[in-house]
Amino acid sequence: MKNLIYIFLGGGVGSILRFLISNYTQKFWNINAFPLGTFLVNITGCFLIGCLSGYFMKVDNSLKYLLITGLCGGYTTFSTFSAENFSLLQNSNYGILILYSLLSLIIGIMMVFLGFQIIKN
């Protein structure tokens, strides 16, 4: 039961952070149709989950539920990412669709690796 409470609390905080960072990024750096807010959240979320995964490999405790499952799960936005890609497809923004998808995937994986390596060493 304690782990479920951790997940609940972390998910709430992560969701609020996602909303604030995504909205303010889009508001202040609106680059054409590119969904920079969601991109930034997903990339920083990938880095964070990499760092936390590396740390919790060394130290196993219940905080991984608060921080990885809860916080990172609430913070990252793959469902929003998918909806935005669908919208780009519907609006025939094929170049942005391909750029956004590839950058998110490639840089996301690189950020998980980087975060993991920084904490692992």
Contact 107, 36 (CB under 8 A): no
pLDDT in tens, 26-44: 888 877 778 899 999 999 9
Q: How many CA atoms lie within 13 A of 18 on its CB side?
A: 25
pLDDT in tens, 74-106: 999 787 788 899 989 999 999 999 999 999 999
User: Does residue 25 come out as left (phi exceeding 0), alpha (psi in the -120 to 50 range) or beta?
Assistant: alpha
The domain limits of the chain are: 2-120
Could you list the residues known to form a binding site, using ranges. Answer: 73, 76
Could you list the residues known to form a binding site for Na(+), using ranges. Answer: 73, 76
